[in-house]
Amino acid sequence: MGWSINLFRIRGIQLSVHFSFLLLMAYFGWEGWQDSGMTGLCWSLAALVAFFTCVVLHELGHSFTARRFGVGIRRILLMPIGGMAEFDSIPRQPSRELLITLAGPAVNFAIAAALWPIVGSLRDWDSGAFPSSLGDFGRLLFYANLVMGTFNLAPVFPMDGGRILRALLAIRLPYLRATYWAATVGKVLAVLGALHAMYHNYPLRAALFIFIFLAGEGEYRAVKRQDLAEAAWRAWAARLATPAPPEPPILTESRGP
| Residues catalogued as catalytic | 59
DSSP string covering the chain: --SEEEEEEETTEEEEEETHHHHHHHHHHHHHHHHHHHHHHHHHHHHHHHHHHHHHHHHHHHHHHHHHTT--EEEEEEETTEEEEEES----SHHHHHHHHHHHHHHHHHHHHHHHHHH---TT--TTSPP-SHHHHHHHHHHHHHHHHHHTTSS-TTSHHHHHHHHHHHTTS-HHHHHHHHHHHHHHHHHHHHHHHHHTT-HHHHHHHHHHHHHHHHHHHHHHHHHHHHHHHHHHHHHHHSPPPPPPPPP------
Q: Which of 227, 232, 139 is nearest to 178 (CA)?
A: 227
Q: Which of 89, 81, 109 is nearest to 211 (CA)?
A: 81
Strand partners, 16: 6, 77
Distance between terminal CA atoms of the chain?
87
47 vs 137: CA distance, rounded Å: 7
